[in-house]
Chains A and B, each alone.
Chain A
Amino acid sequence: MYSMLFRLTVLFLLMGAGAGFASLFKHTIPSVALGVALGSGLWLVWDTWRFLRFLDWLRRLHETPDAPPRLSGLWREAAQRVSRLLRKQARLTRESEARLENLQAGLQASPNGVIVLDEHTHIEWCNQMACRHFGLDARRDIAQSVTHLLRDPAFVAHLAARDFEQAVIMTSPVSSEAHPLRLSVRLCPYGQGRLLLISQDITVFEQAEAMQRDFVANVSHEIRTPLTVLAGFVETMQTLALSEDEHREYLDRMAQQAGHMRRLVDDLLMLSRLEGSPPPGLEDWTPIAVVLAQIEADARALSALTTGASAPQRLVFPAAAALPQAGEIAGAATELQSALSNLVNNAIRYTPPGGDIEIRWEAQPDGTACFSVRDSGPGIAPEHLPRLTERFYRVDSAFSRATGGTGLGLSIVKHVLQRHEATLTVDSAPGQGACFMVTFPAYRVRGEIAAGGAGM
């Protein structure tokens, strides 16, 4: 309001000044009018100059955001208002950009793959996990049609049917034999015809499911085999008249099969007990000498039983004199003894008569302790090594069954050792014998062994 008054005042003043100036020379009406016109002309020039400065600032605004030029009156207010509006706009843009960035960071942090699809199912945005799941490139593949890169027919059909209820299970395009990757992909509609694609890695679930299925099938098979034999003998004895000798022989074989089944069930129960119970603590300490002595006694008995006196296996155990210095071990003594004994028994079963088996207990410089069983048996081919501790995995199933193996021994060993935070390593090659090494962590062994550091 004041600016308007000021403007008009300046205009009238200029006009008045022009008229006054003209009246100095001649007191006629036309000369006064001329003076007024001159005054208004001057005002127009001045005002236009200010307007041009303002316009010039506006034009250069998006290149160089300067402060508004020094103007007065209405032009100053106009410049200030524009400038304030722009500042507000810039702040709003910054805020919404920050919000968008936060939102994207949130989606990036999702453990699932997320792809935002526009109404033509072109990729609008995707997170890092989606890139990893589908082999996408977050920058290059924007605006690419999703079915051009995710070409699995099951997914394409799913997308075409616009089925938003169920997830589709597919193998990832980047899946390989070494790194299998199975995905569960879901589509969620939002907005107007837009879609959110969410992918989840289900490789581990599928593997666990397959393992469980295999396990049940294996157990049924393992139990049915001796059961069939047993039932066969029972049927024979029911229907045929047998001599005394045959009778005894059949009963012996039945007892053998029943024994096999009992061992199998015992092993299964052992496994489930190991899985179900809490890990052994660090309070119970057992002298290593006791454990090793028991193992040695069992081993010598088994070796004498299987190979006979003609060509005995040479068993080498740590010297009895050195045993008391071995120190103590923390954990469940019975479990440890049966696990280590199992390794020794395996060596005895697989080493031919006259072969060598060497059992060692060594303290390592870093405080850990290593129990090892080295035999001169046939050795194990490299392709079997990673699978040895799988349940019911047998390198030679006929031999294993003939010697009364259940296929669960090494699984139990692995479980026991895992509970004691120990590791099992197998070093072997066909014809080279095998060496099974168990390394116990430093905090589970104490006594002489930690200080001595010498092998026995």
Chain B
Amino acid sequence: MTEKHLSSQFDSELTSICSKLMEMGGLLEIQIQNAIQALAQFSIPLADEVIQTEDRVDMMEVAIDHALTSIIARRQPAARDLRLLLAISKITTNLERAGDEANKIARRVKSIVESASARKMPIGDLRLASGMAITLIRRALDAFARLDLDTAVSILKEDDLIDQEFKGFTRKLITYMMEDPRTIGDSLNLLFLAKAIERIGDHAKNIAEFIIYIVKGTDVRHSSLTHIESVVQ
């Protein structure tokens, strides 16, 4: 993952913190997957599992931050190492937030399962977007492990697709609400669900931006795609 340093101890510390981050990423992938499966199958046990595991994600974030502080204080890293450590810190935050979104989905699923009317709403339409969100997070983590710029750029491009799905779904919910005001409560529940899925896509996009930052040293947040592509080449 990184080039060799004079101190092999430092090397192993960097590898270990990357492994910790990937472990947190792995847990988070399962969290999102379970949350979305709970939604597709209206499964309360699965939703409960997500809500219970949320604590573990939070604890991992704290542990990674602690390790980061210790490394930066003792090693005073520079250049690429510093960028890597900073990016890990930011990626951890993004992962934790994506975990929060999974938690939110699980909670909404529980309230939807309990109300009979909500189950008649077009929940199936969320399947495509949720599948894309899972894939984006997985590819973002893969790209981090491989420091793969091509994948990072393609994630930035694909996040737009989720946004489009979200807009389409919102329009559909509006027609439901206009046809029958009794569905407003359920529609709002679904809207929050869709928003949570869309946010997971955004977090994947942020992770992709930090990968470019680690490799190229350029902060590409809030830049246009054409600018990012010129940086990567």
Contacts and interface: CB of A to CB of B under 8 A. Distances in A.
B171 interface: no
A176 interface: yes
B138 A148 contact: no
A147 B29 CA distance: 14
Given A141-B146, A144-B145, A144-B146, A153 B30 contact: yes
* Chain B: number of interface residues, binned into ranges: 20 to 34
Given A145-B15, A147-B19, A176-B131, A156 B142 contact: no
A141 B19 CA distance: 15
A257 to B, nearest CB: 30
B201 interface: no
Nearest to B27: A153
A43 to B, nearest CB: 53
B183 to A, nearest CB: 23
A100 to B, nearest CB: 26
Interface in B1-41: 1, 15, 18-19, 22-23, 25-27, 29-30, 33
B26 A177 contact: no
B18 A173 contact: no
Interface of A: 135, 140-141, 144-145, 147-149, 151-153, 156, 171, 173, 176-177
Given A156-B23, A156-B26, A149 B142 contact: yes
Contact of A151 (B15, B131, B141, B146): B141
Given A145-B18, A145-B145, 14 more contacts: A140-B146, A144-B146, A145-B15, A147-B19, A147-B26, A151-B23, A151-B29, A152-B30, A153-B30, A156-B26, A171-B33, A173-B138, A176-B131, A176-B135
B18 A148 contact: yes
Main secondary structure on B side of the interface with A: helix
Interface of B: 1, 15, 18-19, 22-23, 25-27, 29-30, 33, 127, 131, 135, 138, 141-142, 145-146, 148
Nearest to B127: A177
B1 to A, nearest CB: 8
Nearest to A122: B15
A176 B33 CA distance: 11
Contacts of B25: 151
Contact of B23 (A141, A149, A153, A177): A153
Max chain A C-beta neighbours (<10 A), residue from B23, B26, B141: B26
B146 A177 contact: no
A148 B127 contact: no
Contacts of A140: 146, 148
